[in-house]
Amino acid sequence: MRPVHESMMRRRVEQARVGRLATITSAGDPHIVPVCFAVDVDRIVTAVDDKPKTTTALRRLDNVRAHGRASLLVDFWSEDWTALWWIRVDGSARVLDDGADLDAAIGTLERKYRDQYGIHPPKGPAILIHAERWRGWSAGS
């Protein structure tokens, strides 16, 4: 396992277009979903958007409200195994239902996903992760 320097991890996470958000259910089971996200210094935001869902009362929101923790996993796959890498960011998390923090989170997402959220901004709520630990691996440099 080759560790990855934190500045490289941050750059790769910031540039990634999709990640997997991991939370813990009330039964203690893992719950993992793909998400759009954006990084703002040591904060990672993701929001409930207009992509089709059966409900906007999403389990990930309940999980964060109940446990206050989340992880985001970003990875890169290639047939060239020397290019593989993954990065996981763990931290405390909270749900933003309204107010200035939600507005700032949505603005961060709109800047990253201009073509998508510039036209249809997420209405929220949003999840804000305060990054406490960055872990990663890379097959190459």
∠ CA 11-12-14, nearest 5°, is 65
Give domain status of residue 1, yes or no. Answer: no
Give domain status of residue 128, yes or no. Answer: yes
Distance CA 136, CA 75 (A): 9
Residue 125, preceding peptide bond in cis (omega within 30° of 0): yes
Query: Who wins on pLDDT, 53 or 27?
Result: 27
Give domain status of residue 45, yes or no. Answer: yes
Asked if pLDDT for residue 1 goes beyond 60, the answer is: no
- Tens digits of per-residue pLDDT, 47-74? 987 775 666 678 999 999 999 999 999 9
- Tens digits of per-residue pLDDT, 108-120? 999 999 999 988 8
pTM of the model as a whole: 0.91
Give domain status of residue 52, yes or no. Answer: yes
Query: Who wins on pLDDT, 95 or 7?
Result: 95
CATH number at residue 124: 2.30.110.10
Domain extent, residue 115, equals 6-138
Give the list of residues 6+ apart from residue 72 with CB closer than 8 angstroms, or none: 13, 19, 20, 21, 22, 35, 37, 44, 46, 88, 89, 129
